[in-house]
Structure 1
Amino acid sequence: MRPDSANRPAQQAATKNSSLFNRLFPVNRDLAIKSIFGVWVAYFLFATSRFFYVTQNHPDALFVQRILMTSICITFTWLLYRLLIAVRRHGMAAEIFMLTLPTIILANYIAILDQIVFDHDALLFDFSYLLDPVELASFDWAYVLDEAFTRYFILASWGALYLALSHSQNAQRMMAHSRQLERVNRESELRALRYQLNPHFVFNALNSVSSLIIDQKNEQAEKLVDDLADYMRAVLTGGAQDMIAVEQEIAQQVRYLEIERMRFPERLHYIVNIDPATNGWSIPALIIQPLIENAVKFGVSETDQPFNIVISTQIEGDRLRISVANNGRVKLPAGQVNDRTVGTGTGLTNIQNRLRALYGQNASLFLANSKDGMAIATIVLPDPSLIFEDI
Structure 2
Amino acid sequence: MVVTRWKAILEDRNRFFWLLQVAGWSGYALVHYIGSLMHEMRDIYALVLILGAYAGFLLTVPLRYFYRRIWDVKPWYLIVIVLAASYVSAALWAVIDNATYWEIYKFGFRPETNWFYFKNSIAKFYIMLSWSGLYFGIKYYQMLQDEKQKALMANSMAHQAQLKMLRYQLNPHFLFNTLNAISTLILIKENDLANQMMQKLSKFLRFSLDNEPIKKIPLQEEIDALLLYLDIEKVRFDERLQVDIEISAEAQKALVPSLFLQPLIENSIKYAIAKLEQGGRIHIQAERFADDLLISVSDNGPGTKKSTAELLASGGVGLSNTRDRLQALYGKNYSFTLTDAQPQGLKVAIRIPFEQAEIS
Q: Secondary structure at the match of 1:361?
A: coil
Q: Secondary structure at the residue paired with 1:263?
A: helix
Deviates more, 1:312-321 or 1:210-219: 210-219
Partner of 2:336: 365
1:30 matched residue in structure 2: 15
d(CA) in 1 for partners of 2:274, 2:173: 12
- Give the number of equivalent residue pairs: 343
Aligned-pair CA distance for 1:148 = 1.8
Residue 6 of structure 2 corresponds to none
Using the TM superposition, give the Cα deviation of residue 292 of structure 1 relative to its aligned residue in structure 2, in angstroms: 0.9
2:86 pairs with 88, 92, 103, which one?
103
* Aligned amino acid, residue 244 of structure 1: I
Give the unaligned 5+ runs of structure 1: 1-26, 124-128, 334-338, 386-391
Paired amino acid for 1:185 = A
- 2:217 is paired with a residue of what secondary structure? strand
- Aligned partner of 1:21 in structure 2 is none
Give the corresponding residue for 2:40. 55
Please say which structure displays the higher CA radius of gyration. 1
Within a 5 Å distance, the mapping from 1:58-77 to structure 2 comes to 61-77=44-60
One of 333, 347, 351 as aligned partner of 1:376: 347
* 1:80 matches 2:63: yes
Residue identity opposite 1:233 in structure 2: R
Report the AA paired with residue 173 of structure 1: D
- Within 2, Cα distance between the matches of 1:121 and 1:233? 80
Q: Secondary structure at the match of 1:332?
A: coil
Q: What displacement does 1:347 show? A: 1.8
| Identity of matched residues, % | 25
Query: Is structure 2 residue 132 aligned with structure 1 residue 149?
Result: no
Q: How much has 1:61 moved relative to structure 2?
A: 5.0
Contact 2:170–2:317 (CA under 8 A) maintained in structure 1: no
Relative distance call for 1:359 and 1:249 in structure 2 (3 A) is: same
Tell me, in whole angstroms, the C-alpha distance in 2 between the residues paired with 1:258 and 1:36: 67
Partner of 2:271: 298
Of 107-116 and 256-265, the range deviating more from structure 2: 107-116
Aligned residues of 1:115 and 1:139 also touching (Cα < 8 A): no
1:96-127 Cα offsets, whole Å, 9 max, x none, are 3333233123323322443333246658xxxx
Show the 5 A alignment for 1:312-391.
Answer: 312-326=285-299, 327-333=301-307, 343-344=312-313, 345-384=316-355
> Counterpart amino acid of 2:59?
F
Residue 87 of structure 1: CA displacement?
0.9
Structure 2 portions without partners, runs of 5+ = 1-11
* 2:292/2:352 contact within 8 Å kept: yes
Residue type of the alignment partner of 1:102: A
Q: Is the 8 A contact 2:247 2:287 kept in 1?
A: yes
C-alpha separation between the residues in 2 aligned to 1:112 and 1:200? 81
Tell me the C-alpha RMSD between the 2 structures. 3.1
Q: Quick one: distance in 1 between partners of 2:281 and 2:79?
A: 74
Q: What is the DSSP-based 3-state SS (H/G/I as helix, E as strand, rest coil) of the residue aligned with 1:90?
A: coil
Aligned residue in 1 for 2:165: 192
Aligned AA (2:325): R
| CA shift for structure 1 position 243 | 1.6
Secondary structure of 1:89 counterpart: coil
SS in 1 for 2:91: helix
**1:217-264 per-position Cα deviation (integer Å, ceiling 9, x unaligned):** 443333222222222222234457722211221222222222222222
Aligned to 2:178: 205
CA deviation string 1:185-221 (max 9, x = no partner)? 3233322322223545433433433443444444333
Aligned equivalent of 1:13: none
Separation in 1, partners of 2:20, 2:270: 68
Displacement of 1:154 in angstroms is: 0.9
Q: Does 1:166 align with 2:139?
A: yes
Relative to its length, the structure with more helix (as a share) is: 2
Aligned residues of 1:342 and 1:366 also touching (Cα < 8 A) = no
**1:84–1:98 CA contact under 8 A, matched in 2:** no
The alignment status of 1:44 with 2:29, answered yes or no, reads yes
Q: Does 1:242 align with 2:227?
A: no
2:241 pairs, out of 268, 277, 285, with 268
Structure 1 residue 375, shift from structure 2 partner = 0.7
Q: TM-score, normalised by structure 1?
A: 0.77
Q: What is the deviation of 1:376?
A: 0.5
1:307-366 CA-to-partner distances (Å, cap 9, x unmatched) read 221111111111111111112323433xxxxx7997234222211221122111112211
Report the alpha carbon displacement of residue 40 of structure 1 after superposing the two structures with TM: 2.8
Give distance in 1, aligned partners of 2:50 and 2:206.
72
Q: Distance in 2 between matches of 1:201 and 1:312?
A: 23
Contact kept, 8 Å, 2:48 with 2:100, in 1: the verdict is yes
Secondary structure (helix, strand or coil) at the match of 1:264 reads helix
TM score, norm. by length of structure 2: 0.83
Q: What SS class does the counterpart of residue 238 from structure 2 fall into? A: coil
Equivalent-residue separation in structure 2 for 1:120 and 1:229 (angstroms):
86
Given the superposition, is the C-alpha separation of residues 53 and 255 from structure 1 closer, same or farther in structure 2, using an over 3 Å criterion?
A: same
Partner residue in 2 for 1:22: none
Is the alpha carbon distance of 1:294 and 1:109 closer, same or farther for their aligned partners in structure 2, counting shifts above 3 Å? Answer: same
Counterparts of 2:322 and 2:70, CA distance in 1: 51
Contact 1:31/1:162 (CA < 8 Å) preserved in 2? no
**Structure 2 CA distance for aligned equivalents of residues 298 and 64 of structure 1:** 89
Of the structure 1 ranges 284-293 and 365-374, higher mean CA displacement relative to structure 2 is found in 365-374
SS state at 1:328 partner: coil
Structure 1 range deviating more: 89-98 or 142-151: 89-98
